[in-house]
Chain A
Amino acid sequence: MMKSMTKKQKNLLFRIIAAVVLMAVLTLLPLKEYPILRFVLFLIPYFTVGHDILRKALKGIRNKQVFDENFLMAAATVGAMALGEYTEGVAVMLFYQIGELFQSYAVGKSRKNISELMDIRPDYANLETEDGVEEADPDDVEVGSIIFIKPGERVPIDGVIVEGTSTLDTAALTGESLPRDVAAGQEILSGSINLSGLLRVQTTKEFEESTASRILDLVENAGTRKAKSEQFISKFARWYTPAVCYSALALAILGPLFNMLFFHVPGSWALWSDWIYRALTFLVISCPCAIVVSIPLTFFGGIGGAGSKGILIKGSNFMETLANVRTVVFDKTGTLTKGNFVVTRICPAKPVNSSADEAADRLLEYAALAESYSSHPISRSLKEAWHKRLEESGQTIADTAARVGDTEEISGKGVITEVDGSRIGAGNLQLMQDLGAIITEENDHSDVEIGTIVHVCKGSEYLGHIVIADEIKPNAAEAIGDLGRSGVTRTVMLTGDAEAIASRVAEKLGIDEYHAGLLPADKVARLEKLLDEMGGNGNTGSSAKDDISAKNSSSGKTGKKGSLAFVGDGINDAPVLSRADIGIAMGALGSDAAIEAADVVLMDDDPMKISRAIRLARKCIRIVNENIWFAIGVKLACLLLGALGIANMWLAIFADVGVMVLCVLNAIRALV
């Protein structure tokens, strides 16, 4: 414990011990006969333990910053010494300093714990140069350089594997240590640990821009965005201290006067000193240090602890909003489902002059070619399925580029491409209607098929349809159920997919409400509506979230029943993420856009993390509230007792320091 103390702290500790020893000695000596000597001797431990407090108090008065902790302690103890209560004077100063030491130690330890927990960045990189491999400062490694990562080392910079196979431990990024197999051509992110094989990696980002650095940045800066309770405490402390000081003054003066006038108590030194003593006790209790330090400490622990579990909360204010979440809105694709569309059925229209198999092949081929230039997950699965078909039948992909001409992608409908000279349309029913392709009843299985249906037409001849299904994530249902246990009362799913699929998915997962067929703009509108339904839709928008002092904290909507969270994979959810009270981006490993737009970033794509994040936030806020109520409650009680003359300075200082110690210890719980 001694090793982790700073010089300042060690110095204080010695002074405290010295003062205690001196005090013990002095109380044992028979000094009652020599009041002046006694006074002088007691000054020694007093100044030993309290000289810096007195100095700061004087400086404060000189700088016109009168009302601070140092002044309170100075006034209280000087007063006590003047009243002849030497042991109490020294004791108050002593316990105050013990409290300060404890607080300083706890804060330092907490900072150290978090930085160890988040120690995910190595401070060197094995850079490949003309002279071989040398150790370099990661900051100096340029984008596109080749670095080596040996087994057991941490990855310093984001990059792509050029050579080698290995398994990675991505615990630092996701909070789970499920090893991930990697090979050449795959992306590798900084912060992961290379487990088994030597890897040769070409960097794609600079050190500061790599994932691990960005995570650290987020966690560190999260404390800058203050929670509402933190702002409340600051305001409270500013008001509390002068209020108590004036009350003390009033107590000292009005108390005796009151008694003399109304109760005809004779004015005497005893009367005055009794009330002055009570006033001094007031001053001792008036220190707000307990709450002022424990609240930021709690949030710090909460955010740091969450960070180590792969849950990045970008501000203390978001911690509060997250804890109040009652409604969770999900994007379907990529969030509740894997987003890995797979071709499940190929249904060609009644073939005229070829076998069913050939027609199916042709259908798939046309569909895949039509989607050549699209990067939509649906087109990817079509192309993959087609490539597989070709491989199976031993064919090779002829030069497709030549066959594919102009292409036009129409948002919400599909794609129209020129293939082999004909106009091929691949998309939904709307597109077929637009292109004049008529789907006969026997071909229309839309009500039976569950999945995304891609209809294909050539010219205006309907060729058939292909069913592509998006797999639901294995623990999605469990995750939704778990949300209920975390205080969420309503779940909503938004998707651009068809009604039939949305309905089935919602049913399977137990989601309360769903809205299908939504274009991106519709999703925002729908979210607005949901916010309205919750009552009191204040318009904070995304600008408030950029304020560095977060004056308009995003949960400042009056009369609203809880907050609304939106969970998406971030790729095209930016407007919805910013509009929601809490925007949660999932599976954001490496996605810059998501990290920017969201308020909470879940580093992996496990939906269980959502309820985990909410529970974590609730625990943190619970601790904050416990501390606030406890500290203020005990303080007010002591003030009352002090005013009534029941509490003496010993009790006062014990209460003060005791409350602070308890609050700080409680705050550290947020880290676990």
Chain B
Amino acid sequence: MKKTYKIDVDCANCANKMEEATKKTPGVKDAAVNFMALKMKVEFEDGADVDSVMQKVIENCKIVEDDCQIFL
């Protein structure tokens, strides 16, 4: 299942770090961040619980880039 989220992030490098952090989160099959459009596309593993995975994703992203936001 794929979902697209609106995000807020200040710099292109931070966006890349967010993408890396999201990809490494368990339950996430693949992720792509579009810095210019401020969107993030997440593909979830089969059977993953979207809400809890996204909570973990936000946590992981905050670690690498404190200023970022993901609007669920």
Contact = CB atoms under 8 A, between A and B. Distances in A.
A223 B35 contact: yes
Given A103-B11, A220-B37, A548 B16 contact: no
Contacts of A65: 17, 63-64
Interface in A298-328: 299-300
Interface string A56-70: 100100011100110
Interface residues of A, number: 36
A289 B32 contact: no
B11 A289 contact: yes
A289 B64 contact: no
B28 to A, nearest CB: 11
Given A56-B66, A63-B63, A548 B13 contact: no
Contact of A292 (B2, B16, B34, B39): B16
B37 A221 contact: yes
B36 A547 contact: no
Contacts of A554: none
Interface in A309-366: none
Contacts of B33: 224
Given A221-B34, A547-B30, A548-B30, A69 B13 contact: yes
B16 A237 contact: yes
A409 B37 CA distance: 48
Given A65-B63, A548-B41, A107 B30 contact: no
Interface string B1-42: 010100000111101110100010000001111111111010
Contacts of A223: 34-37
Contacts of A125: none
Contacts of A226: 32
Q: Is the interface of B mostly helix, strand, loop or mixed?
A: mixed
Given A548-B41, A549-B31, A297 B10 contact: no
Contact of B39 (A59, A220, A238): A220
Contacts of B67: 56
Contacts of B63: 63-65
Contacts of A103: 11
Interface size class of B (residues with CB under 8 A): 20 to 34
Contacts of B45: none
B46 to A, nearest CB: 16
B64 A107 contact: no
A226 B30 CA distance: 14
Contact of A224 (B10, B16, B41): B41
Nearest to A220: B37
A234 interface: yes
B39 A224 contact: yes
Contacts of B37: 111, 220-221, 223-224, 300
A79 interface: no
A101 to B, nearest CB: 11
Contacts of B2: 548
Interface in B55-72: 63-64, 66-67
A111 B30 contact: no
Given A104-B10, A234-B16, A293-B12, A63 B36 contact: no
Interface string A98-119: 0010011001001100100000
Instruction: Please indicate which of the listed interface residues A100, A296, A550 has the most CB atoms of chain B within 10 Å of its own CB.
Output: A296
Contacts of A64: 63
B13 A292 contact: yes
Q: Which of B33, B37, B66 has the most CB of A within 10 A?
A: B37
Contact of B11 (A238, A293, A550): A293
Contacts of A224: 32-34, 37, 39, 41
A114 B30 CA distance: 27
Given A104-B10, A220-B34, A293-B13, 20 more contacts: A65-B17, A68-B17, A69-B13, A110-B36, A220-B37, A220-B39, A221-B34, A221-B39, A224-B32, A224-B37, A225-B32, A237-B13, A237-B16, A288-B13, A289-B13, A292-B13, A292-B16, A293-B11, A296-B12, A548-B30
24 contacts: A56-B67, A59-B66, A63-B63, A63-B66, A68-B13, A68-B17, A104-B10, A104-B11, A111-B38, A220-B34, A221-B34, A221-B41, A223-B35, A224-B33, A225-B32, A237-B16, A238-B16, A289-B11, A292-B12, A293-B13, A295-B12, A296-B15, A296-B36, A548-B31
Interface of A: 56, 59, 63-65, 68-69, 100, 103-104, 107, 110-111, 114, 220-221, 223-226, 234, 237-238, 288-289, 292-293, 295-297, 299-300, 547-550
Interface of B: 2, 4, 10-13, 15-17, 19, 23, 30-39, 41, 43, 63-64, 66-67
Which 8 pairs, one residue from A and one from B, show the smallest C-beta to C-beta distance?
Answer: A300-B36, A223-B34, A224-B34, A293-B12, A224-B32, A234-B16, A292-B13, A549-B32
